[in-house]
Chain A
Amino acid sequence: MAKRSTVIAAGAAAVLLAIIGAVAALNPSDSDGPGEAARVTVRLWDEPVAAAYEKSFAAFEKDNPDIQVDVEIVPWDDYFEKLRTDVAGDGAPDVFWVDGGSYPAYADAGALLNITTALPADAQADWSAAVTAQYTRNAVLWGVPQLADPGIAVYYNADLLGDAGLTPDDVSALTWDPAGQDDTLIAVLQKLTKDYNGNTADSADFDGSNLSQYGYNAGYDLQAMVLNYLASNGAQFQDASNQYAFASDAGIASFQYLIDLMNKWQVAPSAADTNSNGDFSREQFLQGKMALFQSGVYNLANVSAGANFDWGVVQLPSGPVGAISNVDGIAAAGNAASAHPAETQRVLEWLGSAAGSEFIGASGAASPAVLAAQPAYAEYWAAEKVDISPFYDVLAAGTAPAPRGAGWPAAENAMRPLLDEVFLGRTPAGQGVRAAQEAANATLTE
């Protein structure tokens, strides 16, 4: 019998070999050949800063020919999901960005390099104290401070202000008051909001269900909105033991105020738009459809590049206890399981040095946490003729911390849908916010 089986077996084997060969060819070679440079991978989510890093590492590689640094961008939406599975599967990069809510779980699991002992003390002297404190847990620093966002402020569209007969000065010292007496914010926002027939929100014919121009970006945005509205009304997000405490009377009043801006006064996009798309308000502002856009310096580069109208920055509205902003920092953590511990430490040291961080500030990409690199950031924006002082001036009145503690991802996952309902106006603020706090705290005790 002609051995068809042999032919088929040979065919199958050939297919198999061809595929294995192709896969081997596709396999990115991460082994460092003899004499070649060791590869250190740095992962982050921010594209402007990644561009600054590329320049920074080009300078670093010149002085350190034995190290090659690869910059890897993972989009913010997937960042922490992917990071967790990568760390779990021994596939994490050597250096990766973390934020205040995410690093404790990694630190507790032993996945991060102890920066306090890994880097020489004099290399750690010149870092923002606030960011250093944010990334210190059990008396150990778990990341090299990279970005020190100052406060939140309000971007304004000067053309839209002009149309409403307002000047930037008219919106630079707004106040909000849940009790109503000392409120100047709502009246201004009503002038700045228009429906499709061109009626402003303070006119009798105003149809709030169909807006063509928004006054403001009230909505569920923890960093730009919620934390500041809580703090400016004397409410806490978390208490000293990291329990969630935002459902106090003052806290609920803050939520109610934000919700009323959307649903009662109708001067902000509906939660249906902003709940599911975190970039909705920024897009509207950049398209010239939103007059006031409250945000941080993390949007400075985006606004500067994307806005084709006159714009500027003013201080955020002050509440019953003043204008209090949250502050947040970002750190670069070292992978404790890195295949190149020595090289990783040298890269981290570079990132924490004035020379290494200079590039972040000098490109205007973000506000560096290395103090000596900060003047370059101010100079960049001064040269661009943008006054960024409102982001900094607000810090004098005291600040509110960003979310902290090991359980943040689970807590946010638990409370977020409940708060979505509150912002949509489907549950009363008091009931919904209390339920959200309870759900968040339940994840801590598990």
Chain B
Amino acid sequence: MRSRGSLRRRSAITGYALLAPSLFGVVCFLLLPVLVVLWLSFQSWDLIGPISFVGLDNYRSVLSDGVFGNSLVVTLIFVLLVVPIQTLIGLGAATLLTRGLPGSAWFRTVYVLPWICAPLALGVVWKWILAPTDGALNTLLGHRVEWLSDPALALPAVAAVVIWTNVGYVTLFFMAGLLNIPGQILEAARIDGAGAVKVFWHIKLPLLRPTMFFVLVTTVISAFQVFDQVYALTQGGPARSTDVVAARIYYEAFDAFDLGRAAVMAVVLLVILVVITLAQQLYFRRRVTYEMD
């Protein structure tokens, strides 16, 4: 019989051996880059010259020149456009698809198609559909609208494309949530004489709260990072009206070749998203305990 100590040591060795490859990946490709980007935010680098320490200069320049401020505002408006609208449409579609009508599974499959496809490729397709002179939409409308080159329309247009992509995904979760509601509760409400609208507002919606919360949190976080569709549709233009944070980071680094500024923006984005995630975790925890009381 081996001693407890040696058993424990064996188990520790096994544990770390199993962990080694993934730990290598996590350290080298997730943790180290965060340190590198933090370090880079204090350096000046144009990709080909030497890297030199500049202290807080990048932070000063990013936070003072309004370009990044514009990107934050654009991103916020984008999130506020995309998330509520796609949630409402998704909720509506899920309600219609959970009425037990034949063919519901087919519609569900169709709706989720855009979500599994490459956002970049779909963005390019939409770029043509929305093109001013030979685009499909203007041909259909018989009327010229500058969907992507009018600064007032470009951000809503990009948001519409992203909503179109995401609706099916949101629908799936609401469908799962709605199907999880026990049939007896709904039956009881109906026997009490509640109409469909009342059942939806007073029974289904409150019971969907966890699903709703989950959908809102994940879609807010992903909307904050939108890049592919913006790259395909507007490249941040016209006049920076669609210059979301992820696109700004990319253009700052690989178009203006100011890696230090790009790093600062990346650090700020990281902080914002970590704060959002932690805040929702705290809120969610509280909420859950409250609801269990």
| A and B in contact, CB less than 8 Å | yes
- B238 and A276 within 8 A (CB): yes
- B48 and A409 within 8 A (CB): no
Q: How far is the CA of A109 from the CA of B49 in the complex (A)?
A: 5
Give the size of the chain B interface in residues (CB under 8 angstroms).
Answer: 29
Minimum CB–CB distance for A262 against chain B, Å: 13
Q: Residue of A at shortest CB range from B148?
A: A276
- B240 and A417 within 8 A (CB): yes
Contacts of B257 in A (CB 8 A): 84, 105, 409-410
- B237 and A275 within 8 A (CB): yes
Q: Is the interface of B mostly helix, strand, loop or mixed?
A: loop
Interface segment, B30-38, B92-100, B104-112, B248-256? B248-256
* Other-chain residue from A105, A210, A275 in contact with B48 (beta carbon distance below 8 A): A105
Minimum CB–CB distance for B18 against chain A, Å: 14
Q: How far is the CA of A270 from the CA of B44 in the complex (A)?
A: 39
Contacts of A417 in B (CB 8 A): 237, 239-240, 243
- A272 and B237 within 8 A (CB): no
Q: Which residues of B in the span 221-268 have a Cβ within 8 Å of any Cβ on A?
A: 234-235, 237-240, 243, 251, 254-258
- A105 and B258 within 8 A (CB): no
- A81 and B254 within 8 A (CB): yes
A85 sits at the interface (CB 8 A): yes
A442 sits at the interface (CB 8 A): yes
Q: Residue of A at shortest CB range from B64?
A: A442
Chain B, residues 125-152, CB within 8 Å of chain A (1/0): the string is 0000000100000000000101011110
Q: How far is the CA of A421 from the CA of B149 in the complex (A)?
A: 11
Chain B, residues 143-175, CB within 8 Å of chain A (1/0): the string is 010101111000000000000000000000000
Q: Which residues of A in the span 92-136 have a Cβ within 8 Å of any Cβ on B?
A: 105-106, 108-109, 111
Q: How far is the CA of A210 from the CA of B251 in the complex (A)?
A: 34
Minimum CB–CB distance for B150 against chain A, Å: 6
* Other-chain residue from A85, A273, A442 in contact with B254 (beta carbon distance below 8 A): A85
Give the size of the chain A interface in residues (CB under 8 angstroms).
Answer: 29
Contacts of A426 in B (CB 8 A): 151, 239
* Other-chain residue from B150, B235, B243, B255 in contact with A272 (beta carbon distance below 8 A): B150
- A276 and B237 within 8 A (CB): yes
Contacts of A420 in B (CB 8 A): 237-239
Taking A105-B46, A276-B148 as contacts, is the C-beta distance between A410 and B57 under 8 angstroms?
no
- A106 and B251 within 8 A (CB): no
Contacts of B65 in A (CB 8 A): 439, 442
- B46 and A275 within 8 A (CB): no
Minimum CB–CB distance for A177 against chain B, Å: 29
Q: Residue of A at shortest CB range from B146?
A: A272
Q: How far is the CA of A84 from the CA of B67 in the complex (A)?
A: 23
Contacts of A276 in B (CB 8 A): 148-149, 234-235, 237-238
Chain B, residues 66-77, CB within 8 Å of chain A (1/0): the string is 010000000000
Q: How far is the CA of A418 from the CA of B70 in the complex (A)?
A: 12
* Other-chain residue from A106, A108, A273 in contact with B132 (beta carbon distance below 8 A): A273
Contacts of A410 in B (CB 8 A): 256-258
- B48 and A87 within 8 A (CB): yes
Contacts of A105 in B (CB 8 A): 46, 48-49, 257
A413 sits at the interface (CB 8 A): yes
Contacts of A273 in B (CB 8 A): 132, 146, 149
Contacts of B255 in A (CB 8 A): 81, 409, 413
Q: Residue of B at shortest CB range from A419?
A: B239
B47 sits at the interface (CB 8 A): yes
Most buried by B among A275, A417, A421: A417
Q: Residue of A at shortest CB range from B57?
A: A446
Contacts of A409 in B (CB 8 A): 255-257
Contacts of A108 in B (CB 8 A): 49
Minimum CB–CB distance for B210 against chain A, Å: 39
Q: Is the interface of A mostly helix, strand, loop or mixed?
A: helix
Q: Residue of B at shortest CB range from A111?
A: B48
Q: Which residues of B in the span 8-51 have a Cβ within 8 Å of any Cβ on A?
A: 44, 46-49
B281 sits at the interface (CB 8 A): no
B61 sits at the interface (CB 8 A): yes
Contacts of A413 in B (CB 8 A): 251, 255-256
* Other-chain residue from A109, A111, A270, A424 in contact with B239 (beta carbon distance below 8 A): A424
Chain A, residues 370-399, CB within 8 Å of chain B (1/0): the string is 000000000000000000000000000000
Q: Residue of B at shortest CB range from A446?
A: B61
Contacts of B235 in A (CB 8 A): 276
Most buried by B among A105, A108, A426, A446: A446
Q: How far is the CA of A105 from the CA of B46 in the complex (A)?
A: 9
A88 sits at the interface (CB 8 A): yes
Contacts of A84 in B (CB 8 A): 47-48, 254, 257
Minimum CB–CB distance for A169 against chain B, Å: 33
Chain B, residues 181-224, CB within 8 Å of chain A (1/0): the string is 00000000000000000000000000000000000000000000
Contacts of A81 in B (CB 8 A): 254-255
Contacts of B57 in A (CB 8 A): 446
Most buried by B among A276, A426, A439: A276
Contacts of A442 in B (CB 8 A): 65
Q: How far is the CA of A426 from the CA of B243 in the complex (A)?
A: 17
Q: Residue of A at shortest CB range from B252?
A: A413
Q: Which residues of A in the span 399-443 have a Cβ within 8 Å of any Cβ on B?
A: 409-410, 413-414, 417-418, 420-421, 424, 426, 439, 442
- B47 and A85 within 8 A (CB): yes
Q: How far is the CA of A421 from the CA of B240 in the complex (A)?
A: 9
Q: Residue of B at shortest CB range from A421?
A: B239
Q: Residue of B at shortest CB range from A80?
A: B255
Q: Residue of B at shortest CB range from A423?
A: B239
A-B contact pairs, 30 of them (CB 8 A): A84-B47, A84-B48, A84-B254, A85-B254, A87-B48, A105-B48, A105-B49, A105-B257, A109-B46, A109-B48, A109-B49, A272-B150, A272-B238, A273-B149, A275-B237, A275-B239, A276-B148, A409-B256, A409-B257, A410-B256, A410-B258, A413-B251, A417-B237, A417-B239, A418-B239, A420-B239, A421-B151, A421-B239, A442-B65, A446-B57
Known interface pairs A270-B146, A424-B151, A426-B239; 18 further A-B residue pairs with C-beta atoms within 8 A, sorted by A's residue number: A81-B254, A84-B254, A84-B257, A87-B48, A88-B47, A106-B48, A210-B144, A272-B238, A275-B238, A276-B149, A276-B234, A414-B256, A417-B237, A420-B239, A421-B151, A439-B65, A442-B65, A446-B57
Residues of A with Cβ closer than 8 Å to B?
A: 81, 84-85, 87-88, 105-106, 108-109, 111, 210, 270, 272-273, 275-276, 409-410, 413-414, 417-418, 420-421, 424, 426, 439, 442, 446
